[in-house]
């Protein structure tokens, strides 16, 4: 068997593998650029918090649909994630607590509530599907939802590109010029939430943020230019999704963890070989990241 046939045989033979491949490619295209902006805005841990905050909405969608309806759970996750983002922002403006502290408090509450709802009304298998995803069970409606989220993400990024970049570089400038920085911030959080929901469809709440943050971290090691960084992040996510599915197929392993571990492998290789990696810095003291 040739190498080419080894790489394509799972997708030619099985329809569920083809759907999983389309899902990972779609997810990488949308989540990669958003992950880059999250890192540049020093909000990586907030992205992790948001990935868990969608769980109660997904659990309620599970109950209303009477089972694992990915569309119903995805819409519920969007509502829950946006609700947590708005609550955290409102509390941070009215108290002395920082926004990341409020996100941590709300996401832990949301995670516990979501697990409680699913475990009380469903089985352990349902709970595992919610937490770790069902990428090999992706159906056509879920693919349509993920494709719509990716299209919306790329479209919104192109429309509000300049304010988002300016907020990354100098957020005080937007306030000084009277630009509605808070509006753009909420739109960006909306992009984070919907891409996490798309990742939740495939990888579950515990690993959905991995497809967003790990490729972005890998891309930052290779370039300091924003557009190439976003493009490279998307390419790393898509390639890792493909290779993770191939590894999971031939070694009979869970597909979701294989995808994230493939992303992590690319990150470790980049740490060792990239221009900004560990080896090039030698024994010098680490510089402050931009």
pLDDT for residue 16 = 92
Residue range 239-262: mean pLDDT, rounded: 93
pLDDT for position 248: 93
What one-character-per-residue DSSP string does 178-193 give?
T--HHHHHHHHHHHHH
Q: What is the pLDDT of residue 233?
A: 96
The proportion of the chain whose per-residue pLDDT surpasses 90, expressed as a percent, equals: 32
pLDDT of 287 higher than 60: no
Most confident of 39-48, 94-103, 153-162, 273-282: 153-162
285 secondary structure, DSSP code: P
DSSP 209: T
Token pair listed for 137: 């069970």
70-99 pLDDT tens trace: 778 778 888 888 888 788 777 877 777 776
Confidence of residue 290 (pLDDT cuts 50, 70, 90): very low
228 or 114: which carries more pLDDT confidence?
Answer: 228
pTM of the model: 0.84
Residue matched to tokens 């949308």: 30
Distance CA 236, CA 20 (A): 17
Residue 53 has a pLDDT of: 79
**Angle (nearest 5°) at CA 272 between 209 and 25:** 35
Rounded Cα distance between 95 and 92, Å, is 5
How high is the pLDDT of residue 105?
79
Where is pLDDT greater, at 22 or 161?
Answer: 22
- pLDDT 10s digits, 144-181: 888 999 999 999 999 988 888 887 776 666 666 656 66
CA distances from 44 to 128, 130, 178, 212 (A): 25, 22, 27, 9
Q: Pull the structure tokens for residue 232.
A: 């490279």
Check residue 31 and give its pLDDT: 93
Q: What is the pLDDT of residue 25?
A: 94
pLDDT number for residue 126:
62
Residue 235 pLDDT greater than 80, yes or no? yes
Q: What per-residue confidence (pLDDT) applies to 245?
A: 95
Report the pLDDT value the prediction gives residue 125, as an integer from 0 to 100.
58
- Over 80: is that where the pLDDT of 246 sits? yes
* Helical spans, DSSP H, in 95-221: 99-121, 124-132, 140-159, 161-169, 171-176, 181-203, 210-220
Given a cut of 90, is residue 230 above it in pLDDT? yes
Write the pLDDT tens digit of every residue in 51-65. 777 888 887 887 777
**271 close to 278: Cβ distance less than 8 angstroms:** yes
Euclidean distance between CA atoms 228 and 215, whole angstroms: 13
Is there a contact between 118 and 59 (Cβ–Cβ < 8 Å)?
yes
Euclidean distance between CA atoms 219 and 90, whole angstroms: 33
Mean pLDDT of the 37-60 span: 80
Task: Sketch out the chain's domains with CATH numbers.
Answer: 3-272 (1.10.3470.10)
Measured between alpha carbons, how far is 142 from 42 in angstroms, rounded to an integer?
A: 31
């Amino acid at each position: 068997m040739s190498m080419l046939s080894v790489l394509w045989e799972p997708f030619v033979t099985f329809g569920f593998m083809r759907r999983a491949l389309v899902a990972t490619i779609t997810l990488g295209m949308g989540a990669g650029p958003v992950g880059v902006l999250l890192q540049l805005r020093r909000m990586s841990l907030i992205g992790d918090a948001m990935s868990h905050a969608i769980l109660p909405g997904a659990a309620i969608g599970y109950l209303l649909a009477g089972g694992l309806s990915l569309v119903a759970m995805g819409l519920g996750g969007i509502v829950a994630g946006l609700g947590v983002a708005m609550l955290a922002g409102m509390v941070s403006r009215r108290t002395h607590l920082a926004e990341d502290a409020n996100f941590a408090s709300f996401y832990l509450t949301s995670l516990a509530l979501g697990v409680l709802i699913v475990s009380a009304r469903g089985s352990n298998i349902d709970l595992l599907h919610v937490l770790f995803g069902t990428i090999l069970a992706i159906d056509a409606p879920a693919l349509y939802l993920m494709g719509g989220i990716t299209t919306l993400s790329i479209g919104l990024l192109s429309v509000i590109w300049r304010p988002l970049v300016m907020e990354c570089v100098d957020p005080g400038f937007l306030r000084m010029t009277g630009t509605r920085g808070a509006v753009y911030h909420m739109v960006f959080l909306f992009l984070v939430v919907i891409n996490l929901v798309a990742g939740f469809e495939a990888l579950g709440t515990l690993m959905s943020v991995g497809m967003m943050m790990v490729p972005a971290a890998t891309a930052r090691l290779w370039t300091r230019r924003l557009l190439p960084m976003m493009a490279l992040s998307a390419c790393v996510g898509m390639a890792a999704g493909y290779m993770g599915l191939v590894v999971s197929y031939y070694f009979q392993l869970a597909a979701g963890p294989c995808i994230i571990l493939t992303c992590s492998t690319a990150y470790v290789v980049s740490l060792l070989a990239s221009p900004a990696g560990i080896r090039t810095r030698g024994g010098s003291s680490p510089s402050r990241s931009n």
